[in-house]
Amino acid sequence: MKFGVIVFPGSNCDRDVAWVTQGLLDQPTRMIWHEETDLSDIDVVVIPGGFSYGDYLRCGAIARCSPVMQATINHAQQGKYVIGICNGFQVLTEVGLLPGALIRNRDLHFICDRVPLTVSNTNTPWTSAYKPSEVIQLPIAHGEGCYYADNKTLDELEAHNQVVFRYGTSSSVTGSDNPNGSLHNIAGICNRQGNVLGMMPHPERACDPTLGNTDGLRLFKELL
Amino acid sequence: MTQKYNAQVYVTLRPSVLDPAGTAVRSSIQHLGYDTVEQVRIGKYIELSLTATDEADATKQLDQICDRLLANPVIEVYRFELTPVLEPA
């Protein structure tokens, strides 16, 4: 399985991802500069965390216009895997591969923490190694992670089981364990086909046992 | 013939989207003693200049630019004002 990690000016979790896919999982991994347009050698496109283009205008708004994103859309439309983590999730909503938007955290603070998450859909290529409703812990680090969508979109997400991760220790949509005000406690969603995943928490920061938590490793390992 | 226009673009959050920064600013205004202020919403203001064949063309171009980049229709609405730039004779 060949991984491609997109690098925008301002990406800063790109090498953390490569450390997991190449360093820990021994998979071929290529860094993809944002001006590239050919992703035909790649199986899994990873849009990493960071502050692409300095978060100018809106988080992910400028990245959305870069040449590599059209290639990423084509990649996704072929049913191949795309994962956006943190800023990558923001980019995926801006480009329209996932619905909704990520806005300023409810309490305005940038949050850097480790939080409990409930895996609310294990029927995806990314989460089949987790147990239904399993509670895991992953790091979060964001200022604009509050998931917003209109009621119709939220209903559709729930009806098609597209909410993959929720904040807190239960699958409740109204739980109080919500760090940023995300509607329905949403921490991660997939598209209807399941091949495109976006999530604010950082699974790549919870893979190497040296860091004391490997809850994120199964997400990458399951794809192989 | 093309005409140059200055555009003033206002991007604001949809009413259904919470604006915690606006709420914090409202609270600060009230702390200053201005109890008359009821609501604060914070948006963006963008100035740009463009050339177009006429005002309809400029409006069409700007609508597309706003829909595709300057505003995110999921959370924001926009409006703009166009002013023709008079070239010196």
Q: Check which CATH number belongs to the domain holding A95 and give it.
A: 3.40.50.880
Q: Is residue A86 flagged as an active site residue?
A: yes
Q: What pLDDT was estimated at residue B89?
A: 57
Q: How many CA atoms lie within 13 A of A70 on its CB side?
A: 7
Q: Count CB pairs under 8 A between chains A and B.
A: 36
Report pLDDT digits (tens) over A24-60.
999 999 999 999 999 999 999 999 999 999 999 999 9
The one catalytic residue in A13, A59, A86, A190 is A86
Which sign, positive or negative, has the C-alpha torsion B41, A57, A152, A134?
Answer: negative
Which sign, positive or negative, has the C-alpha torsion A113, A115, A120, A122?
Answer: positive
Closest residue in B to A103 (Cα) is B75
In angstroms, the CA A144 to CA A165 distance is 17
Mapped onto helix, strand or coil, the DSSP state of residue A47 is strand
Report pLDDT digits (tens) over A168-190.
998 777 767 899 999 999 999 99
- Mean pLDDT, chain B, rounded, equals 94
- The amino acid present at A103, given as its one-letter code, is I
Task: Indicate the domain borders of chain B.
Answer: 3-84
Structural domain range at position A70 = 3-221
Q: Is residue A204 flagged as an active site residue?
A: yes
Contact A48, A16 (CB under 8 A): yes
Contact A93 B69 (CB under 8 A): no
**Interval B9-30 mean pLDDT:** 94
Which tokens is A158 given? Answer: 């729930």
**Interval B46-52 mean pLDDT:** 97
Q: What pLDDT was estimated at residue A67?
A: 95
Closest residue in B to A64 (Cα) is B69
> What is the pLDDT confidence band of residue B1, given thresholds at 50, 70 and 90?
confident
What are the distances in angstroms from CA A6 to CA A35, A56, A69, A82, A170? 10, 18, 9, 11, 33
**ipTM of the prediction:** 0.85
Q: What pLDDT was estimated at residue B49?
A: 96
Total number of domains constituting chain A: 1
CATH superfamily of B3-84: Phosphoribosylformylglycinamidine synthase subunit PurS (3.30.1280.10)
In angstroms, the CA A107 to CA A146 distance is 10
Contact B20 A106 (CB under 8 A): yes
Indicate whether B88 pLDDT > 80.
no
Which residue ranges in chain A fall short of pLDDT 70? 175
Model-level pTM greater than 0.90? yes
The helix-helix angle for A67-77 and A87-95 (nearest 10°) equals: 80
- The amino acid present at B47, given as its one-letter code, is E
The H or E element containing residue A158 is: helix A151-159
Q: How far is B59 from chain A (nearest CA, A)?
A: 21
Of B18, B24, B72, the CB nearest to A58: B72
Contact B82, B52 (CB under 8 A): no
Q: What pLDDT was estimated at residue A70?
A: 96
